[in-house]
Amino acid sequence: MYTLGINAAFHNPAACLVWNGQVIAAAEEERFSKIKHGKRPIPFSAYELPFNAIDYCLREAEITISDLHHVAYSFDPSILLPDNSGSNVVTLPLEPSANPVDPHWDSLWDPLFVSFIVNAPRQLVGAVPHHLGKRLEAPDTRYQWHFVEHHLAHAASAFIPSPFDEAAVLTIDGRGERATTTYNFATRRGKGRVDITRLGQVEMPHSLGLLFEAVTGYLGFLHYCDEYKVMALASFGKPRYMEDFDQIIKLEGSGSYRIENGNLEERFGPARKPGADFEQRHYDVASSLEIALEKSLLEITYWLQEETGSKNLCMAGGMALNCVLNSQVRDDGPFDEIWIQPAAGDEGTALGAALWIDGAERNFGFFPGWKMDHAFLGPGFSDREIEDFLIWSQLPYHRLNDIPTETAHLLAQGKLVGWFQGRMEFGPGALGARSILASPLQASMQQRLNGLKDREDFRPVAPVVLEEHAGNWFACSAPSPFMLFVHDVLPEKAKMIPAVKHIDGSARIQTINPEQNRRYYDVVLEFGRLTGVPILLNTPFNTRGRPIVCNPRDAVESFCTTPLDALVIGSFLLSKSGNSQRLGRR
Ligand SMILES: [Fe+2]
């Protein structure tokens, strides 16, 4: 039984294909459309479906839309429709902003937003781009359409792929239909049956996620997009605005809270203009926000642990991408084990909705559950496909005999290497399939990488370390394969890896083992043999404002237009130092 998951309501549109409990493919639309985050999260764009990502998922399984049994869309518009109206009509003035908002709606534009989503099934049939007709246009579809509540989709994405048989599940994002934070208890029983019970929720307009977005905008970054920059900025500040944030975030016990935003400029002074210099108060606002959120999240998680009695926590929702917050919950919270969905943003709801509907429609029967040990769920390209492209493009390249060893030698020489291998990652992290790799041994490497990517200087670069060696270099006692936690660099090792450490002494590490990605593991292993340091710098293979590369053309274009020294793509090397031998010939 095939189930297609779709996320499209707000941002990070994505698709995921599940077959009898197993995830076959998952990808974000941005990787195909080249529009970062896919689209803007505004009512006017709510109709846009991730057609390219859907097409990819069907292609991976070698099926067409006719073969689908279910489509699961990760937003339920009925929750926003007027209660008990008995009508299938919503009224939308031609010029909503010139009319008073109907008291039922949160916003002037909600009727437009909801009507687009209600009509998503018709969009899927009637708006297929011409070039995707082969797989997406069919006269005889048989699938059943399901609208899945947004936070249920987040919760399913957090629990079903987790290693736990029971767990507390916390979802926090900007907003779903009305919920912004949810508390759940999930269990997996005999034959894999999953139950997710909602224990409580916080609703609009009270949202820790929206507060984070508001401060992101205040600090001159793009909200809905640059929240991770605020997280990095916080390390440079002092939390001298805690009293203000105590007034803004009102914790009310039992997981409930209120947000009294008010006017941030009245509290903290004029907002920073995008691109303007940072003042100390900007760092201090970021620091105060981060600590206020840590405090709030700890209180919430203690309550959730008592309420569920579980020692396991699963998390999803955009806030779960904040690795500093996650680490605080890990270090000072009440749970023994934490698993976070690596695609914790809205893209992951495509996966959660698909897994949930697939399981519910099968009554979770007779197929083994799917555990998410890695995130390599996107498009991959064979050596044949890659070489055909290189020949066509007439670029010089040569085939490597020993990919890990030869790549490790380049890295040990201080080269910046584009690394394009296997299936693309699902989610925002680059985990060794679409990465830029570099040596951690020189402090200047962080600046070189930030320069290459046209990123702000304050941004740290994350390391990848062999799983078995992680504890020798970082305060790390458990694998961390998805870069969702920070770990302190051991003081006695810090001088050996100066490019790794953030200003606060921490690093957002990725641990790697051979089962997750053999070739990537072997490069780090060989680099360790050459230098004595089994660690590399790993940053996403993209440049500022662009999504991570998806296909060989993207990788080669990025290689040719940045100061990358080399590109290792499949079994082939492209180099700017004249070492590549062949010119468009096999
Ligand atoms: Fe969400």
Cα 38 to ligand 1 centroid, rounded to whole Å: 15
The greatest distance separating any two alpha carbons of the chain, rounded to the nearest whole angstrom, comes to 72
Cα 180 to ligand 1 centroid, rounded to whole Å: 8
The whole-number pLDDT of residue 206 equals 94
Cα 6 to ligand 1 centroid, rounded to whole Å: 13
In the block, tokens 């060893």 appear at 405
Cα 371 to ligand 1 centroid, rounded to whole Å: 22
Cα 75 to ligand 1 centroid, rounded to whole Å: 9
Cα 154 to ligand 1 centroid, rounded to whole Å: 7
Cα 224 to ligand 1 centroid, rounded to whole Å: 11
Q: Do residues 469 and 490 touch, judged by C-beta distance below 8 A? A: no
Angle (nearest 5°) at CA 175 between 173 and 181: 55
Which residue type sits at 144? Q
Interval 192-247: pLDDT, tens: 789 999 999 999 999 999 998 889 888 888 766 666 777 778 878 899 999 988 99
Cα 319 to ligand 1 centroid, rounded to whole Å: 9
Helix (H, G, I), strand (E, B) or coil at 216: helix
Cα 74 to ligand 1 centroid, rounded to whole Å: 9
Cα 317 to ligand 1 centroid, rounded to whole Å: 5
Cα 175 to ligand 1 centroid, rounded to whole Å: 6
Cα 346 to ligand 1 centroid, rounded to whole Å: 5
Stretch(es) of the chain classified as CATH 3.30.420.40: 2-156+350-362, 202-340
In percent, the amount of the chain with pLDDT more than 70 equals: 95
Interval 326-362: pLDDT, tens: 999 999 999 999 999 999 999 999 999 999 999 999 8
d(CA 280, CA 238): 9
Highest mean pLDDT (candidates 103-107, 448-452, 524-528): 524-528
- Return the CATH superfamily for domain 2-156+350-362: ATPase, nucleotide binding domain (3.30.420.40)
Cα 11 to ligand 1 centroid, rounded to whole Å: 9
Which residue type sits at 10? F
Helix (H, G, I), strand (E, B) or coil at 356: helix
Q: For residue 572, give the nearest of 376, 390, 379, 432 by alpha carbon.
A: 390
In percent, the amount of the chain with pLDDT more than 90 equals: 69
d(CA 281, CA 519): 45
pTM above 0.85, yes or no: yes
d(CA 356, CA 362): 10
Residue 585 pLDDT class (50, 70, 90 cuts): very low
Cα 419 to ligand 1 centroid, rounded to whole Å: 30
CATH class of domain segment(s) 202-340: alpha beta
CATH class of domain segment(s) 383-583: alpha beta
Cα 376 to ligand 1 centroid, rounded to whole Å: 22
Cα 151 to ligand 1 centroid, rounded to whole Å: 7
